[in-house]
């Protein structure tokens, strides 16, 4: 067996390879509308209904750190990140399957806290937890969540539907999750130093972090924007294209444009940055705009709509128009506050950021 | 946080606890027909169609050993064990989502071999691989597979439908997977001794194991019995209750009887034991009947049918009647070849066996 390391083809090369192998299992005329390539797979249920489904695998030491992540929050987040993918298809979650592999050190109370977080989130989103699998893990905690949702052929929104002239919108304020992660990493560093020097450390540290609580909550306890999907439905809005902000605005805008074969121009001054993220960025002598553009894990929705639909979203207090879709050859550019156009490069996204 | 170890409540206690937490997320009047407790979760799609779904998490060092498991086989098996759960509901698989977490040592070729095994199995079962997730693992390989299938309200078969008087049937021959595992474990032992003493070992060991190939194949490359589900459909057979043999005949019969509130009496002389398993048991000075009853992982189907339906299965060369369902108070008994009734205890199943 030759040993070409995965780093040689990168994560996208790997997904490309897996995707081309899996494509062969989808017959020409089948009920499968979309396989690998969007936020969810899409399957026809009948002449009008579509089922969407997504799955995420969370591995201790890669996706989360139990030193800085309470188990309630982890349980809730592991469901929310999947529901966020369902939202990105303009769909609503129906049910979820959850598997966990537990390290030898796991206690009954740990499992209870994890599931309490999950059932809390399930209640918020109206998602039933219907099954799963439990097993031992030879090392850390592993959580696998699959969420199945539903939408209609009229309402389904893919990454690929953006057209030049469409407005680019984003929900909420960005940068909070990245700012919160910075604070948590600093806190962990302090904790480790205390442990190494044998000093006491107050594990109930959250009390000291109150001024950062909004950003920390964005990182540990993000919410999927099912409220926006409900708003779209009530107001008969169907976005042209949509994706959820998991990798970061720059990466996710690139994903959306690539699938839509389009370009984009966004304006720095219009990007909604969480004010607490600005405050934290100042403290770390970093740029809050970097958190918002490259940070990832905000789990807000990035979508496009046509000019005719603008009036229907203009009233919403939590939706910002940040730019517009352009022809593919114009590339993806950020227009800074002085009107200078800068090519918006595709960063490595979330994983890269954590390095 | 108190630290009650999971061993104190056991795996079933843990599932009980998780199940009671998850139940709260299922509203009274919803489309969820069955949550945790059967081979699959069951959700109503419309007035006649039911969707069934199942998920399994496979962890290196717990569920498989890459020293004795070719990646092609692992890929195929990880899909087959889930499709087997779909079959156990008298349903057919529609699509699958696959997530993998890769250790730092993983190569592109390893991933290709794994997915080649999966797509091969997907082709056999007519299941489309439509999505998933790839990530890094801080330690070993982790595979999570979710399979979604479909059946009708008329054909759905739960664990709970067995009635006293029903005949108990099993497909195929049992004990092969356990016998194969024994051979592979012995081979691994020899391999480890060679490695420790610095001697050469021919990694292409399968050539030397030809006489055991049937049993090894049962262990490494089990097939889900979609052919039996097709046969049931063609012949209008609907079993009373059904379960797939993953934990072993004794454990799985207990699961089925517990959910059906019934007892069972099976006859030792009627249990179909794979002839190669007998040969291997002789060599290991063990009892092939133990492999068949407690071994697990044969992924055959155990089901009950009423006397009226017997003629429809009597002709099938690969279905054996091994006993009958009795009232709950009669317990679960094995009648040995001399006619002696022995209480069939519930062993720890598959995990226990591997200790």
The answer to whether A35 contacts B129, with C-beta atoms less than 8 Å apart, is yes
Question: Is B89 a member of any domain?
Answer: yes
Do A321 and A276 share a domain, yes or no?
yes
Q: How many Å from the N-terminal Cα to the C-terminal Cα in chain B? A: 30
C-alpha span between A222 and B249 (Å, rounded): 45
Question: Is B199 a member of any domain?
Answer: no
Cα–Cα–Cα angle for B211, B217, B223, nearest 5°? 150
Do A140 and A177 share a domain, yes or no?
no
For residue A60, what is the nearest residue in chain B, using CA coordinates?
Answer: B138
pLDDT tops 60 at residue A161: yes
Report the pLDDT value the prediction gives residue B353, as an integer from 0 to 100: 25
pLDDT tier, A125 (very low <50, low <70, confident <90, very high otherwise):
very high
Q: How far is CA B224 from CA A103, B78, B114, B221, B300, in A?
A: 30, 11, 18, 10, 7
Whether B202 has a binding-site annotation, put simply, is no
Dig out the tokens for A3 from the structure.
């040993």
Report the pLDDT value the prediction gives residue B354, as an integer from 0 to 100: 34
C-alpha span between B121 and B277 (Å, rounded): 25
- Domain end, chosen from B152, B172, B201, is at B152
Question: Is A12 a member of any domain?
Answer: no
pLDDT tens string A225-254: 999 999 999 999 999 999 999 999 999 999
pLDDT tens string B122-172: 999 999 999 999 999 988 999 999 999 999 999 999 999 999 999 999 999
Q: What residues of chain B lie within 8 A of the CB of A127, using their CB?
A: 25
Asked if A280 contacts A333 with a C-beta cutoff of 8 angstroms, the reply is no
pLDDT tens string B312-348: 898 899 999 999 999 999 999 999 999 899 999 887 5
Report the pLDDT value the prediction gives residue A319, as an integer from 0 to 100: 97
Whether B226 has a binding-site annotation, put simply, is no
Number of domains in chain B: 2
Report the pLDDT value the prediction gives residue B208, as an integer from 0 to 100: 67
Do B106 and B86 share a domain, yes or no?
yes
DSSP codes, A156-198: ---GGG--TTPEEEEES-BSHHHHHHHHHHHHHHHHHHHHHTT
Do A148 and A177 share a domain, yes or no?
no
Q: How far is CA B204 from CA A213, B66, B68, B187, in A?
A: 58, 14, 11, 12
Asked if A143 contacts B41 with a C-beta cutoff of 8 angstroms, the reply is no
pLDDT tops 60 at residue A350: no
For residues A297 and A354, the model is more confident at: A297
Do A107 and A175 share a domain, yes or no?
no
> A154: how many CB neighbours lie within 10 A of its CB?
10
Do B298 and B322 share a domain, yes or no?
yes
Do B347 and B320 share a domain, yes or no?
yes
Report the pLDDT value the prediction gives residue A36, as an integer from 0 to 100: 87
Q: Output the CA torsion A231→A232→A236→A238 (10° steps).
A: 180
Question: Is A198 a member of any domain?
Answer: no
Residues 77-106 of B with CB under 8 A from A: 94-95, 97, 99-102, 106
A310: domain CATH number? 3.90.650.10
Whether B197 has a binding-site annotation, put simply, is no
Lowest mean pLDDT among A3-17, A65-79, A131-145, B83-97: A3-17
C-alpha span between A229 and A249 (Å, rounded): 19
Q: Which of A337, A247, A333, A348 is nearest to A292 (CA)?
A: A247
The answer to whether A139 contacts B142, with C-beta atoms less than 8 Å apart, is no
Report the pLDDT value the prediction gives residue B32, as an integer from 0 to 100: 87
Interface test with B, best of A47, A52, A128 (most B CBs within 10 A): A128
Calculate helix-pair angle for B108-125, B71-87, nearest 10 degrees: 30
Q: What residues of chain A lie within 8 A of the CB of B139, using their CB?
A: 61, 138-140
pLDDT tier, A347 (very low <50, low <70, confident <90, very high otherwise):
confident
Q: How far is CA A235 from CA A172, A232, A309, in A?
A: 19, 5, 10
For residues B217 and A350, the model is more confident at: B217
| DSSP one-letter code for B30 | S
Those residues with Cβ within 8 angstroms of residue A111's Cβ, 6 or more apart along the chain or in another chain? A100, A102, B6, B14, B17, B18
Q: Are strands A49-59 and A142-152 parallel, antiparallel or unpaired?
A: antiparallel
Q: How far is CA A276 from the centre of its chain?
A: 20
Q: Which of B355, B70, B295, B65 is nearest to B192 (CA)?
A: B65
Question: Is B203 a member of any domain?
Answer: no
Do B88 and B167 share a domain, yes or no?
no
Nearest to A25 among B31, B97, B123 (CB): B123
How many angstroms separate the CA of residue B165 from the nearest CA in chain A? 31
B54 in A contact zone (CB under 8 Å): yes
User: What domain range includes position A73?
Assistant: 31-152
Whether A132 has a binding-site annotation, put simply, is yes
Do A81 and A172 share a domain, yes or no?
no
DSSP codes, A262-297: EEEEEEGGGS-B-HHHHHHHHHHT--HHHHHHH---
Report the pLDDT value the prediction gives residue B34, as an integer from 0 to 100: 87
For residues A27 and A118, the model is more confident at: A118
Look-up: residue for tokens 């390893």?
Answer: B110
- Domain end, chosen from B103, B132, B152, is at B152
Question: Is B16 a member of any domain?
Answer: yes
pLDDT tens string A186-211: 988 988 888 888 777 666 655 567 88
pLDDT tops 80 at residue B29: no
SS3 A10: helix
pLDDT tens string B101-118: 999 889 999 999 999 999
Do A169 and A313 share a domain, yes or no?
yes
Q: How far is CA A25 from the centre of its chain?
A: 28
Question: Is B208 a member of any domain?
Answer: no
DSSP codes, B191-239: HHHHHHHT----S-GGGGGGGGHHHHHHHHS----HHHHHHHHHTT---
Do B319 and B222 share a domain, yes or no?
yes
Is residue B352 within a helix (H) or strand (E), and if so which, with residue range?
helix B350-354
Q: Could you give the percent of chain A with pLDDT greater than 90?
A: 76
- Mean pLDDT value across chain B: 91
Cα–Cα–Cα angle for B232, B233, B239, nearest 5°? 45
SS3 A40: coil
Q: What residues of chain B lie within 8 A of the CB of A57, using their CB?
A: 99-101, 133, 135, 142, 144
B66 in A contact zone (CB under 8 Å): no
- Mean pLDDT value across chain A: 91
Dig out the tokens for B177 from the structure.
């997977």
Do A173 and A277 share a domain, yes or no?
yes
Question: Is A189 a member of any domain?
Answer: no
B78: domain CATH number? 3.30.1330.10
pLDDT tops 80 at residue A345: yes
**Which residues partner with A34 through β-bridges?**
A42
Q: What is the mean pLDDT of residues A113-123?
A: 96
Q: What residues of chain B lie within 8 A of the CB of A17, using their CB?
A: 108, 111-112
The answer to whether A53 contacts B130, with C-beta atoms less than 8 Å apart, is yes
- For chain B, strand residue ranges (E) read 32-34, 41-44, 49-59, 92-102, 128-136, 142-152, 167-171, 241-244, 262-267, 301-305, 319-327, 332-335, 341-343
């Amino acid at each position: 067996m030759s040993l070409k390391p995965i780093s040689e083809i990168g994560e996208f090369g790997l997904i490309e390879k897996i995707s081309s192998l899996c494509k062969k299992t989808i017959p020409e005329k089948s009920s499968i509308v979309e396989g690998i390539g969007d936020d969810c797979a899409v399957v026809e249920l009948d002449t009008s209904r579509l089922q969407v489904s997504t799955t995420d695998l969370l591995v201790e030491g890669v996706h989360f750190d139990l030193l800085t992540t309470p188990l309630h929050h982890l349980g809730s987040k592991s469901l929310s990140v999947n529901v966020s993918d369902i939202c990105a298809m303009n769909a609503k979650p129906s049910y979820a399957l959850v598997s966990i592999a537990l390290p030898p050190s796991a206690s009954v109370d740990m499992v209870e806290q994890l599931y309490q977080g999950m059932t809390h989130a399930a209640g918020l989103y109206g998602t039933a937890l219907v099954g799963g699998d439990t097993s031992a893990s030879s090392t850390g905690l592993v959580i696998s969540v699959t969420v199945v949702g539903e939408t209609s052929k009229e309402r389904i929104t893919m990454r690929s539907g953006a057209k030049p002239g469409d407005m680019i919108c984003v929900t909420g304020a960005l940068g909070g999750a990245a700012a919160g992660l910075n604070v948590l990493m600093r806190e962990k560093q302090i904790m480790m130093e205390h442990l190494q020097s044998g000093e006491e450390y107050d594990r109930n540290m959250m009390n000291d972090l109150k001024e950062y609580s909004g950003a920390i909550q964005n990182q540990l306890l993000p919410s999927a924007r099912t409220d926006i999907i409900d708003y779209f439905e009530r107001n008969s809005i169907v976005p042209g294209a949509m994706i959820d902000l998991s990798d970061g605005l720059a990466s996710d805008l690139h994903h959306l444009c690539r699938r839509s074969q389009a370009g984009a121009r966004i304006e720095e001054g219009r990007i909604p940055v969480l004010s607490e993220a600005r405050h934290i960025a100042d403290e770390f002598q970093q740029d809050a705009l970097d958190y918002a553009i490259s940070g990832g894990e905000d789990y807000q929705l990035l979508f496009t709509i046509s000019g005719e639909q603008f009036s229907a979203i203009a009233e919403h207090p939590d939706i910002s128009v940040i730019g517009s879709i352009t022809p593919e050859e114009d590339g993806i550019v950020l227009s800074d506050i002085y009107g200078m156009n800068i090519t918006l490069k595709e960063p490595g996204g979330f994983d890269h950021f954590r390095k």
